[in-house]
Structure 1
Amino acid sequence: MVLPMSIGLAFWSGVAAAGYAIAALFFLRFWRRTGDPLFASFAAAFLLLALVPAMSVLLDLPEEQQAWIYLLRLAAFVLIILALIRKNLR
């Protein structure tokens, strides 16, 4: 039997998703000002990070079936690492 997600956990997951989305908007604004692809990469990574808690709440899957969602988090960190390497190799 799958227990529904508690209201508190859903609330804090929403807060985390909103925080990541706000950070993505800030980096998107910096990218539009400067045109630096590093900021675009950070914006995309934070959008991916915002999807993780949002999908966890919206899909309401049991914990043992949520492992694939964390591949989004891995993709975000790989994107950040690649952007930093690209920036430093110039």
Structure 2
Amino acid sequence: MNDQVNSVLLGAVAMASLLASLFFLKFWRQTRDVFFLLFAVAFGVDGIGRFYLGVNPSLEEHEPVYYFVRLLTFFLIVFAIVLKNKPRRGQ
């Protein structure tokens, strides 16, 4: 039963991440701001990683591959924030 609850929660978080990715992608299409594109990619990577974790029973949350996906996600978010706050030329 506990494995079923974990699978349902992983699916819900994966769906929420992919929905957030679509949300940021919509704003990127309106503004063409790289900040929104990087956030969309970050949440997309997170959603796909969590979906893969849910459908692959041999992969567990403490595996190094899973942490690499999280590291990539957080790196993209931090990179987007740093890039957005970088002073522009002429200012």
Relative to structure 1, is the Cα distance of residues 15 and 7 closer, same or farther in structure 2, using a 3 angstrom cutoff? same
Number of residue pairs matched?
A: 86
Displacement of 1:39 in angstroms is: 0.1
Q: Which of 29, 33, 36 is residue 36 of structure 1 equivalent to?
A: 33
Which 4+ stretches in 1 moved above 6 angstroms? none
- TM-score, normalization by structure 1: 0.85
- TM-score, normalization by structure 2: 0.85
Q: Which amino acid aligns with 1:27?
A: F
1:63 is paired with a residue whose SS is: coil
C-alpha distance in 1 between matches for 2:33 and 2:53: 32
Could you tell me the percent identity over the aligned residues? 34
C-alpha distance in 2 between matches for 1:64 and 1:28: 28
RMSD of aligned alpha carbons: 1.8
Q: Which amino acid aligns with 1:53?
A: R
1:60 is paired with a residue whose SS is: coil
Structure with the higher helix share, 1 or 2: 1
